[in-house]
């Protein structure tokens, strides 16, 4: 067997992973055809494409857990036997693709067998959960896939969810609606799983045709969620999170009251955190700059009332940060023992 640490083995794995990701649509269609031939019903090719991407990432990083996270997410929508069949078919397709293009594949074949075995063991031990546990497991699995793709996008998703919760809480909304908004915020960018790395991670401005591809992530995210029963309720929010209050957003040009309260809150939370976080193409804005941008978009890009709440929350956080920084800069109080204290006029 070829040494797994040998440079040639690493190069082969990297090449196979790259090829698999480049051809994920083609490979996904192949996997669906294999499953149909075996009389196994599965989800759409979109979900299978996310499996192919996860498998490519797992091969590149020698990390079977990437596929395990994917399996936990899909397990909320499919029986364990179907999920195992999907993984088996994807591994077989990857092995055939690799054999056709790269020759000596001993280490890759062994790795794919490890992935299959780990998935079977995991799914046998973890029956599908119910209720809130089901949705939370599915969300965490989707985030694991997103993190494997781009850590910054995953962090932004979590932050958007937290800001959405804070806005909803400040508005005095029902706790169940607060939780719904928080989860929708966490999931809002999940469609970026489908955006090519050359666009998602591009360090400069996007060309017009690249921007059109990027804009599809909202609908792609909704399509992914609609196929997972525990998360389907969040699909309409994710689909509309780039709509604008004045109707100039995408993908459908919704406006005003056509936007649900959840969409309006997630949109503001998403925009604010996007502004104050570093992006591949620009530095992070200061809180002051972001607050000014939000105020500029009141009533046009965003709901004015929600902007006002976000501005208040952002200003409070900025002030707390400033206070904490000032406190950290202050010298520690001088500790004096009583015998060293001399007060004016005191008799000691």
Query: Is 100 one of the annotated active-site residues of the chain?
Result: no
Which one, of 340, 271, 347, 280, lies nearest residue 303 by Cα? 271
Q: How far apart are CA 185 and CA 177, in angstroms?
A: 12
Catalytic site residue from 57, 116, 183, 192: 192
The residues assigned a catalytic role are: 192
């Amino acid at each position: 067997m070829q040494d797994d640490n040998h440079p040639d083995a690493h190069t082969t794995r990297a090449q196979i992973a790259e090829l698999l990701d480049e051809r994920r649509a083609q490979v996904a269609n192949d996997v669906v055809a294999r499953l149909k031939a075996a009389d196994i019903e599965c989800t759409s090719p979109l979900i299978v494409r996310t499996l192919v991407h996860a498998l490519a990432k797992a091969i590149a990083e020698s990390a079977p857990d990437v596929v395990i996270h994917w399996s936990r997410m899909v397990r909320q929508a499919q029986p364990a036997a179907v999920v195992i069949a999907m993984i088996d078919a994807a591994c077989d397709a990857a092995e055939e693709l690799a054999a056709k293009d790269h020759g000596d594949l001993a280490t890759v074949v062994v790795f794919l067998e490890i992935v299959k075995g780990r998935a079977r063991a995991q799914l046998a031990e973890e029956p599908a959960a119910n209720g809130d546990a089901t949705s939370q497991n599915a969300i965490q699995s989707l985030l694991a896939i997103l993190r494997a793709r781009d850590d910054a996008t995953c962090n932004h998703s979590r932050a958007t969810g937290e800001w959405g919760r804070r806005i909803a809480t400040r508005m005095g909304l029902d706790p169940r609606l607060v939780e719904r908004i928080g989860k929708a915020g966490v999931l809002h960018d999940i469609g970026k799983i489908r955006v090519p790395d050359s666009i998602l991670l591009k360090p400069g401005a996007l060309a017009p045709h690249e921007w059109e591809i990027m804009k599809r992530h909202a609908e792609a995210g909704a399509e992914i969620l609609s196929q997972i029963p525990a998360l389907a309720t969040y699909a309409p929010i994710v689909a509309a999170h780039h709509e604008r209050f004045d109707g100039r957003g995408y993908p459908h040009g919704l406006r005003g009251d056509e936007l649900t309260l959840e969409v309006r809150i997630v949109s503001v939370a998403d925009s604010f955190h996007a502004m104050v976080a570093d992006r591949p193409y620009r530095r992070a804005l200061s809180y002051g700059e972001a607050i000014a941008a939000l105020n500029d978009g009141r009533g046009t890009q965003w709901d004015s009332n929600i902007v006002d709440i976000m501005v208040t929350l952002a200003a409070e956080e900025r002030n707390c940060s400033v206070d904490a920084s000032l406190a950290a800069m202050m010298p520690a109080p001088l500790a004096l023992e009583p015998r060293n204290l001399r007060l004016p006029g005191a008799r000691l």
